[in-house]
Structure 1
């Protein structure tokens, strides 16, 4: 029988961490490198030491903890404690505090799994600072260093950050991977002219053409893959004066999907529709790739083990993919990796209203402990 985590201690530490950069509306401002972020990392290191464990940091700022008598290869678990501005109190933070609770629970119980467990809070996962290198900084640096060779597996516990689990009545999610993310710049070029003296039928209005591309993005995504999500979050109209017909307009279109084929189909659909609209509006369309993050596929055997843990706990669960990026996506290219999700109330995340009921946070933490124990047993049998 596995030890039971302390729900009171888990929840108290989540409250304590939320005070660093805490806002009156219940959210947090703990952008990587801020005073609140650095203070939170100091606090985390002290909590690791209070549990009788070793705490240290690497050159980039990742915070680690392990049993003082432990030895590798290590099962690594954790997440990140930095936030977006005005973010929620659980995103990333939950996975770190749950990892701490699992480590100290196993150590207090004298369980052998504690000896091969290492926990981590990665530096700058969010990339919210203007000085950031785009996010996932700590995990990327970690995987480029020597210590990655000592990692037997990585498991990240996280809130879902979406509405799918709550809508389906799920309590746990076995995450099999992270979707690929492709971004495209769409540039429509028409002719700048006087907005008052140019007849409507004689215009080459780049903004009008861009608007028709924008409103079709959802249909382009649905045709490529019903499960795909898409977004247009950047729109620029030039020259940007109310009495000048726009001669150029730019959009940044983002597609997220579980398969490369769906992303390719969406990109082809975007190019075709932009060309059609441009012809109708007497404009020229140019669709260019802006960035591409390939999908991450997690370790099948590790996902199978997580499924067994969910069944043993009797919690409703499903296998799924994550539509948000995580440190686990970086680790998956270097070590066997998987993730566990708990639901997010109303699918809200990156906002002060981000919330998961206490009992689900507790159950997710216990699922992480059961996973650590099962993995330690599996690794012991293989040696």
Structure 2
């Protein structure tokens, strides 16, 4: 079998190793139905946390859990949980993700992990597999942080980490689409995720002198806009020169007062760095400060550089990651290990319990877009991999 071939997953009985098989039809139907909440004409989804579409989707999810003969509940933070009824107080292996989206999102980011977790629990419950008694599933509230009043995302998972219920959680597993091109480009079908990159964001503010754009000679201007533009044009090279695996983004730039015939007297730029090593983030920040001050001085301006947010590098539990990696080969031989360059609820959960993630490929590396796509057989394959991982964790009695 080639590394790019999707392996068939049976849906009519146990797999060769005796592990129950997920229902491909049920998984895909639930994904399609969830996508109707906030569905867009272009195939995308608008389901920002707290919106009507988001609230309706959470009620739908709770109903789907109950329809499967399982117990559903929603906590004070808005997280939706599901488990077998009458199974005691844990400890629970928690599996899930989130169903809220950014505006004009795809239908898989987050939602896939929640529906796959539901399908895994349903499958184990119907097979009366002992792992069903220790599995709880979750759809976290506001992972994306896209709502105007959001505290910044990871809201529900952060709340759970501060709640007494986290003491009854033995480990956390999250299945997700990769949201990048690495798996597709290397032929990986499944990946064990060993951590999440650290993220640092900076705001650079440059102060110059506003003046008439037509009458002020080019010589001697104190053009804050030109200084900020110089910084923006050099950020990518700065990141690559620091760490070949680092990524950087300059997503926000503003010139003030913002008129076509006024030399900008003030300008702002937001820069984000992501890397899997703290040393790389630290070095990039130092280089950015030097670049900003130097570029400002070249334009007779002064610069201020402020780091406005920081999320440290997350390393998932090594033993749990090893166990997940071992189970992937039972589903498909083309497996590997990756670091995630997108943030996930798993980063919050890893601060309290052993945590690991599983990835399936994203077509073209596209995400946060209506064009987000993963072939259906790969989605089914990923859900089956999650089921194998859940059974393996149960068998090893991970605590």
Normalized per residue, the structure richer in helix is 1
Matched, 1:245 2:288: no
Asked whether the equivalents of residues 186 and 287 of structure 1 are also in contact (C-alpha less than 8 Å), the reply is yes
Partner of residue 173, structure 1: 191
Equivalent of 1:349 in 367, 375, 384:
367
How much is the aligned-residue C-alpha RMSD, in angstroms? 1.1
Alignment of 1:1-383 (within 5 A): 1-71=18-88, 72-379=90-397
How far does residue 312 in structure 1 lie from its aligned partner after superposition?
2.3
How far does residue 247 in structure 1 lie from its aligned partner after superposition?
1.3
CA distance in 2, matches of 1:145, 1:156: 19
CA distance in 1, matches of 2:330, 2:345: 27
Mean CA deviation greater in 94-103 or 265-274: 265-274
How far does residue 69 in structure 1 lie from its aligned partner after superposition?
3.4
How far does residue 275 in structure 1 lie from its aligned partner after superposition?
2.1
Give per-residue Cα distances to partners, 1:47-85, cap 9 Å, x unaligned. 111111101110111110001132310000000111111
Unaligned runs of 5+ in 1: none
Q: Would you say how many aligned residue pairs link Structure 1 and Structure 2?
A: 381
Asked whether the equivalents of residues 70 and 114 of structure 1 are also in contact (C-alpha less than 8 Å), the reply is no
Unaligned runs of 5+ in 2: 1-17
Q: Residue 319 of structure 1 aligns to a residue in which SS?
A: strand
CA distance in 2, matches of 1:187, 1:33: 33
Partner of residue 8, structure 2: none
How far does residue 297 in structure 1 lie from its aligned partner after superposition?
1.1
Give per-residue Cα distances to partners, 1:1-34, cap 9 Å, x unaligned. 1000010110011011111111111111111111
CA distance in 2, matches of 1:47, 1:275: 56
CA distance in 2, matches of 1:279, 1:81: 47
Asked whether the equivalents of residues 84 and 132 of structure 2 are also in contact (C-alpha less than 8 Å), the reply is yes
